[in-house]
Structure 1
Amino acid sequence: MEAAVPLAEPVGVVHKQAAAATSGGVEHTAAPSTPAAPRPAARAPAASATAPASGSTRGGAATAVYAGLVALLGAASPPLILMPQLSAKFMFGSAADPPDAQHTHLMQLAAGTQLVMAGVAAALIHTWCTPAWRPAPADALNLSLVAYGLSAVLTDIYWASAFSPWGWVGTLVADALLATAAASQMGPARIADAVKRLPGAVRSFSHPRRGGSMLASLLMVLAPAFVAAGAAYYLAPQTTLTHTFGYAYGKSAFWLWKAIGLGCVMVLPACAATLQDKAAGEGALTGTAAQALNAGLVSAAALHLWVLTPILAGGEVGGVLLPAVAGTWALAGLAAVLGLASTKAGPTSGAAFKRE
């Protein structure tokens, strides 16, 4: 009785038997084929795929924080621009009764500060949330929001008598949210480290690289001009208001002027320094982050010129500081337009602040 012949031989056995017959008929028993063990390398992609998940989660949380700030600051601006006197009445109550043309002017200028900070928050979405980018620009921009928020909270508390009850609560909560949200993305240690780096950053800013562009030089001039103007607004609101607009309305106008001054001292120099650093290095601004900063700056400049130019042209009201203030913002608008015009979008968004 013959043994049953398997219907099919394993491929390896068939080839070995054929080779044995060709070489002289000596047969070798083939070892039974066994399934190949799974390769460990096949699991590597799955393991590496989990690494970005953590960073993606962290970046997603930071994106949500900054997107929330963009929404908050962006939503606060239209009422100040389109309904300035109604907004002043709500915020200040009897301190703005009746609302004056100066409230209209200052509310619209304050909206420019909000738009600059919205641009900073939008830029941080493209810088802070990507670990490959340099931390220094993101730290400087983030610290400017923290500094503005904390300073504004202290100012709100000190000038509480200038507000209506609901206006004070809303303003205080908004400023506290700004400071808290920005600080939450750094933490105390990183904030302290960023503060320690400020003197070196100022020295580096005041000595730009050789071969820097004309845009870099313009931004280098604007930063100290903003600081000087903002400090004067904040420390001497009545005097600077009078010498800019020809008169000073009162406490409500003083607070608005101080808030604008805080933006000039805390936020605008950080924007100018960040943009100047890039412009001095390559002669052109690149990336979505730079576009966001320039968009905020050009919006504030447009609002300032919209408010100040008719006063300057009329010649009936206005003080000796008005031409200097209007001229500074004209230069700021020019720098922002040049920055937007020279922006070259890279292969990835926010390429302006990649590691060098």
Structure 2
Amino acid sequence: MFFYISFLRPPPVQAGPYGTVSITPQISNDLRTDTLDTPQDLYYAWALHAPLPRNTKAPLVTKAVKFTTLRPASAYKALDIPVPNGVREGQYWRLVLTGAPPGNDTGTAAAIALGARDVGRTPFAVMSMPIAFIGRGSKGAAKQEMIERTFLVPCRPDGDDQGTKALAALSFRESTAFDLDKKIWDSGIGLSAWLVHLFENPGVPGGNLERERLRDALFAEAPRTILDLGAGIGMAAIALSVMRSRPVSSEEEKDRVLATDVESAVPLLERNIAASSGYYQSATPEALVLDWDDEEFPDAIKNLDGFDAILMADVAYNVSSFPSLTRTLNKLARLGSKSPAILLGYKERDPSERTFWGMMAALGFKFDKIGERAGAGGEPVEIWLGRVCEV
């Protein structure tokens, strides 16, 4: 289980360049059903969004300042945050909330390193959308409807063909409303963190055949065709695309990474893909509508000769959708000549969800648990590897 710093009451879209900005912070699980039951210090910082000073590309971020210790008894209390020091009329600033203590670099503390051994042991930081500071202030201003979080994954610097590693800062926007297809979920983070670990730890040749086959399907230098089923906001597909990114010539065959979900999810999915465009060297992920209830696949999928890998995160939570999900996965895995590695990130919310594996076994699939990510305790994110065993 992971915990997320967020806004029960988000900041306004505009505020006066004086006084304070009112928010109600919250620390809860991904479903927002459980709040953190231990005291947690919270710090705020401001990041200048626009206009940036000349010759400055990255936002200027102030030092983190403690503004409260959030306890269960004060979980729903509105708090006032001082506006940025020296804020000017017409500037846009973003509010950052983090659990990092003063002295840490705020930009680093607000970014979540998916390769860290203890990822998720402390609540994840959050950043608001830009707040316009204008003279008439926040009276009557609407509340923000989106937030962003930044995750760090390893990548190759642009143009580097020597295998040099750097860190890519991937920005993911999600809804403050409870839209299932517009939120970050534990399994998406857990699966992405596990992929980073696999990328950074090749293992010993000849040590584990299934692990080597999986790593080859996901990270080989040769072009790969990979599908993310139920991609949501796109975390796993985008993180994998960035880790796979490498210089290719215009004549070389490129990767195909397809991020699929229902139609309502695609606009935000496309936005999150575009936000990391500077890191795609070999191929940009493609957002596609793929509804599990549809009998026919879109042409972009039907015309492929199968997949090297299929990713899934937090798709096994709605038992009533299992007939459609298993039918779709069965057809995808048997499309073309390839037998894909199927990688599933799963966190149990109800024991009945585990009927998914029995339904897949009846269709000729075998799944094995190969890892997990514990986070802050409670139910871990389990990593399962599946393959077609019966053609």
The two structures have a TM-score, normalised by structure 1, of: 0.26
Select the structure that is richer in helix: 1
Relative contact order, higher structure (CA 8 A, sep 6+): 1
Select the structure that is richer in strand: 2
Bigger radius of gyration among the two: 1
